[in-house]
Each structure stands twice: as C-alpha cells, then as structure tokens.
Amino acid sequence: MTSITDLRKKAIEIRKGLLQMICDGQTGHTGGALSSADILTALFYYKMKHDPANPKWEDRDRFILSKGHSVEGYYNILADMGYFPKEELKTFSHFQSRLIGHPSTKVPGVEMNTGALGHGLPIAVGMALAGKRDQKDYHVYVLMGDGEQAEGSVWEGAMAAANYQLDHLVGIVDRNHLQISGDTEDVMALGDFAAKWRAFGWEVVEIDGNDMEQIVKTLDELPAGTGKPQMIIAHTVKGKGVSFMENVAKWHHGVPTPEQLAQALAELDACEKELD
C-alpha cells in the first residue's frame, strides 16, 4: 500500500475499528490510540518489513509499542493484516482473552509485553544492538508517549543508543501534549524537547504526526549511516478524528456511550468520503 490516499483511508478504518473495540470491551485508552493511528498505519502498511504468515521472520523490522496502554490501534492493524482473526477483536479485555489492555506476546506480531512506561526504548536498544552485532540490516521502531518521557529509563536508553551508534534504531514520540493527569507541560515540562534528544546524540526531526504525507516522507528520508539513532517527534492531536474527543484530557482513558460511538463513526465516515 503506497498511495497516501489509501494510507489515509486505512488510518480512518483503524480509528473506526479501535473505537468499536473499546466499546465492545468497555475499557480502553481512546485518546492516545486515536492520536497514534496515522503513525502506526504508515509503519505497518508502508514502511516496515514484516510477514504476517511468518511473525518470527529473522530479518523482519521490529516494532515496540512502549506506550502500551494505546494498544487498540495496534491490535486492529495486526488483525487487519492477518496476524490473527478479526473476529477476535470482539474479545478485547474479556475474561481469558489474549487481547488484554496492553501488548502481549501471546498475540502474534507483538514483539514484547509492554505497559510499564519507560521500558520500550531500553528494550529497543537491546534489539538494535543485537542486530548490529549479528550484522543484520533490520530496523527497530519504538513508539513512546510524551508523558512517558518523565521516566528515567528513557534517558538511560537514549544515552546507550547513541553510545553504541545504533543508526538503525528509530524512536517516535506521540507528542499530543496530554497525559492522564493533564497537560504534559503542567505535569512534567519537557521544555525544548528536540534539543534534549540532540544533546543525547540523536538525529532529530519534528513533524505533524497526523499528516500521512509528512510521516511517509520523513520515514523515507531518515538519514542512513550517520552513526546516530533517529528520533521523530510527531506532534499529534489527542483524540484525533473525533471532534468531541480532540484535545480533551478525559479521553485519555474513556469509553464512548453508544450515542457517542455513533457520532464518532459518522464523523470518520464523513472524513473518508472526502478522500474519495
């Protein structure tokens, strides 16, 4: 799937699917799943090397969802690509379902159990270092939240990645400015966020993380062979695509009512028609 229009339509489809899944499961982290849907769509349908028929393919690119609470879009994409049956999405967070509220390696296509914030980047550093020492050319992508940046282990991982010159490691931060307790700048200010990552020895680019064309262009233009890990600061909108959820902190974790679900799906349908 290479058309920007097709990728935009797919991201809308994933948004609709994750909203339905959250309603079926009566739990979920709606806002962050919506804000990161475009990034995940670009990675899985456009950029990454992976094979649903062979999830453990040795030369696959690796992806870690460090902000594991926003798993709903991730599960929808894996099901849509054939890693497991789509019907299973209806069991999200139900008793004995393997589709729990954070990524689980019981689910085909999931590389690591995540959810304890701050762990994804250090794990990705280990995977990237292993690939470098084994002389493999796969990339490791890790998606973090901006609230997660308050975790010290993120910066330990950042320092190690630069030290080992892991230029096939790509970090992405879903910079939507909202976490469960409010605005990130009120909870733990990030300040000049790009300058922090550059100071730790990373190549840094800032983009609109809800603009599919920008995402794809950035992924294609990441510099190779620099000896530096790559950081994409993706400025997004929490709750992107649903008017009454956008930039509203309470939708960090929340379940739409049937009426709200109907309104949200109608808005997304309208967005999809505009692309036809």
Q: Which of 14-28, 73-87, 88-102, 248-262 has the lowest mean pLDDT?
A: 248-262
Q: Considering only residues 184 and 81, tell me which one the structure prediction assigns the higher pLDDT.
A: 81
Spatial separation of the C-alpha atoms in residues 210 and 219, rounded to whole Å: 14
pLDDT surpassing 70 at residue 122: yes
Mean pLDDT of 43-55: 97
The mean pLDDT value for 19-26 works out to 95
> Torsion angle of alpha carbons 217, 121, 40, 215, nearest 10°?
-20
pLDDT grade for 185, boundaries at 50, 70 and 90: confident
179 has a pLDDT exceeding 80: no
State percent of the chain over pLDDT 90. 87
How confident is the model at residue 187, as a pLDDT? 75
Q: Are strands 178-179 and 182-183 parallel, antiparallel or unpaired?
A: antiparallel
Distance, CA of 112 to chain centre: 14
Ordered domains of the chain (ranges, CATH): 4-274 (3.40.50.970)
Query: With 70 as the cut, is the pLDDT of residue 182 above it?
Result: no
Q: In this predicted model, what pLDDT tens digit does every residue of 235-251 receive, in sequence order?
A: 999 999 999 999 888 88
Give, in order, the Cα–Cα distances in Å from 268 to each of 12, 87, 231, 271: 6, 22, 30, 5
pLDDT at site 102: 95
Q: pLDDT at position 20, please? A: 96
Extended beta strands in 93-161, E state: 140-145
176: pLDDT strictly greater than 90: no
Global confidence as pTM: 0.95
> Distance (Å, rounded) from C-alpha 114 to C-alpha 116?
6
The residue that leads in pLDDT, 226 or 179, is 226
Find the helix packing angle between 152-163 and 120-133, rounded to 10°: 20
Supply the mean pLDDT for the chain.
94
Q: pLDDT digit string (tens) for 2-13?
A: 799 999 999 999
Average pLDDT for residues 119-127, to the nearest whole number? Answer: 97
**Which amino acid, 154?**
V
Cα dihedral 138→140→141→146 (10° resolution)? -160
Mean pLDDT (whole number) for 120-142: 97
Residue 1 has pLDDT above 70, yes or no: no
Q: What is the pLDDT of residues 197-218, one digit of tens each?
A: 999 999 999 999 999 999 999 9
143-165 pLDDT tens trace: 999 999 999 999 999 999 999 99
Distances (CA, A) of 77 to 41, 69, 108, 158, 227: 7, 15, 12, 28, 32
